[in-house]
Amino acid sequence: MSKPRPIRTYRLRPEQRVVITLTLGMPGVAPVAGAVMEDDAPLVFRIGLLLLAGAGFLIIAGFWRMATIVRHDTIVVRQLLRTRMTAWSDVLALDIEAGPTLGRGLLLDREGRRFALTGGVGTHVHEVREMWLRSRGEGWTPLDPGFVTAAERRMQARSSALGWAVTGAAGSLVVLLVFGYTLSLGRRGRLSLDASAGRHRAGGHVRRRVPGPAAGPTLGGGR
């Protein structure tokens, strides 16, 4: 059975995704490639740069993948690593978040999961909400405020845990890069000292092999 055709798909415009890709991806390509291909770069430094490049790739891939797809009977929210498909009858609330992220749509399903609509829905949240109001069915009843409060607390807890995890990962990556860069500087310093010492030894060896001036004839002849 084929999937029903979407009524509308909300996602970033192609030119926006291209700008994000160029802005986040292009500045780091040459430095990462050069450091990874460099023979004397420490392994720790290479691993750190590869992890940094991988994180940037995931962010870019997220902007290309994330979308909110509205259908007659369901709403599909594509996130970076998962896809949530919820029937309109299982949507218990769909509202706009107040605060610094004004305009972000939040969906609450029957299982108590509360998550954001992705793909740049932005100012079009009211369109999605109107579709839900028309399609949720006559049996829909208002929510218990305690149910909403519990869902909001779980969402805040997940956001806080994710924030701490990202902060810890970023801090670990910075420490790894600094440690690798320090090793790289130390190795280059040792190589420079060894090269200088080698040139000094070679110069001294050449000076010792230069013959001295020839002895002149004596004034007094021998008897």
In tens digits, what is the pLDDT along the chain, a chain of 223 residues? 556 677 889 998 899 899 988 888 777 676 777 766 766 667 777 777 777 788 888 888 989 999 999 998 899 999 888 899 999 988 988 888 765 555 678 898 888 888 889 887 877 888 999 999 888 888 777 677 777 777 777 767 766 776 777 777 777 767 766 766 676 666 555 555 555 555 555 555 545 555 555 555 554 544 4
Residue 201 domain-assigned? Answer: no
Question: For residue 76, what pLDDT is reported?
Answer: 94
Question: For residue 47, what pLDDT is reported?
Answer: 77
Question: For residue 56, what pLDDT is reported?
Answer: 82
Question: For residue 105, what pLDDT is reported?
Answer: 86
Residue 207 domain-assigned? Answer: no
Residue 208 domain-assigned? Answer: no
Question: For residue 113, what pLDDT is reported?
Answer: 86
- Using CA atoms, how far residue 216 sits from 151, 210, 219, in Å, is 106, 18, 9
Residue 61 domain-assigned? Answer: yes
Strands 114-116 and 91-96: unpaired
Q: Which two tokens stand for residue 62?
A: 């997220």
Structural domain count, the chain: 1
Q: Provide the residue range defining the domain that includes 92.
A: 8-173
Nearest to 40 by CA among 184, 181, 178, 180: 184
Nearest to 31 by CA among 49, 4, 13: 49
Exposure b/e, 68-90, CB count within 10 A at least 16 = b: bbbbeebbbbbeeeeebebebee
Question: For residue 75, what pLDDT is reported?
Answer: 94
CA atoms within 13 A on the CB side of 11: 20
Cα torsion angle, 39, 42, 43, 49, sign: negative
